[in-house]
Amino acid sequence: MSSDPVVEAYKAGIDRTLIRENLKLTVEERFRKAMELARFADELKRAGREYRSRPK
Amino acid sequence: MTNFESLLAALGSHGVAFIVVGGAAAIAHGSSRLTQDLDIVYARDPENLRQLADALASYQPYLRGVPAGLPFTLDRSALARGLNFTLVTSLGDIDLLGEIPGGGTYEDLVVDAIGLDIFGTRCLCLSLSQLIRAKRAAGRPKDLEALAELEAIEEEDR
């Protein structure tokens, strides 16, 4: 348990199922997953920019 | 998007003495938080500065957030004059850190760092307890949130 109540408050909101799934992966698989997520995040940002630039 | 695989391969193939820290180290330990860059602590001896500059030379390293066109070349003397460099490269963003709060220099960290094979490159990475100490010391709001996840990982991994 953390000695910092702010950290404990943040911890309550953490999805531990994601952690458990990540811990089943190899380090390399964790990095590949992170890069896929980053690629997806970039694509979402691009789509959002495109949407905002459309004439209203 | 940062190409962790190619950046690590570039550093590894040039024999750079470095330790993966920050968000990438957190990913190695099981974090699900997105990180935009590769943070490393590097050894400051002259030979390593040369190797580090050589490793990144092919990837157009330039200071991140600085207007284009300034006369900046990442070479051994530039690295020797500074300590921490936030760079953009053609492989993505990389932060070169001479030391980190709560951890110190390469020489301070290397004793307890863990060895990992990532994409075929043998790397040193902060241990989970080192990473937790560094996040505690950094103390920014975003670090507290990251710290909560790292402590949860430590609890889940027991």
pLDDT in tens, B21-32: 999 999 999 999
Tell which residue, B29, B14, B32, B31, has the closest CA to residue B118.
B29
Interface test with A, best of B149, B153, B155 (most A CBs within 10 A): B149
CA separation for the pair B94, B148 (Å, rounded): 24
Q: What is the pLDDT of residue A1?
A: 64
Interface pTM (ipTM) of the complex?
0.83
Is the pLDDT assigned to residue B121 strictly greater than 80? Answer: yes
CB-based contacts of B138, cutoff 8 Å, min separation 6: B100, B101, B102
**In this complex, which of B28, B34, B145 lies closest to A38 when CB atoms are compared?**
B34
Residue A42: pLDDT band with limits 50, 70, 90: confident
Residues within 8 A of A (CB atoms), B 11-70 only: 24, 27-28, 30-32, 34-36
| R_g over Cα of chain A | 17
Across A12-33, average pLDDT: 94
Q: Is the pLDDT of residue A14 over 80?
A: yes
Q: Does A45 touch chain B (CB under 8 A)?
A: no
On whether the CB atoms of residues B30 and A22 are closer than 8 A, the answer is: yes
**For range B41-68, the mean pLDDT:** 96
| Confidence at residue B112, expressed as pLDDT on a 0 to 100 scale | 96
pLDDT above 90: residue B1: no
DSSP state of B31: -
Instruction: Give the start-to-end residue ranges of the domains of chain B.
Output: 4-132
Binary contact (A28, B118; C-beta < 8 A): yes
Q: Which residue of B has its CA nearest to A25?
A: B30
Does the model's pTM come out above 0.90? yes
Query: Helix (H, G, I), strand (E, B), or coil: what is residue B80?
Result: helix
Class of residue B86 by CB neighbours under 10 A (exposed 0-12, middle 13-18, buried 19+): middle
- Is the domain B4-132 a CATH 3.30.460.40 member? yes
Q: Is A6 on the interface with B (CB under 8 A)?
A: yes
Share of chain B above pLDDT 70, in %: 100
Would you say residue A2 has pLDDT above 70?
Answer: no
Q: What confidence score (pLDDT) does residue B141 get?
A: 85
Residue located via tokens 């330790």: B19
Average pLDDT on B119-126 reads 94
Residue B119, phi-psi category: left (phi > 0), alpha (psi -120 to 50), beta (remainder):
left
**C-alpha distances out from residue B11 to B54, B82, B94, B126, Å:** 9, 19, 11, 17
Average pLDDT over residues A4-19: 92
Provide φ and ψ at A7, rounded to 5°: -65, -40
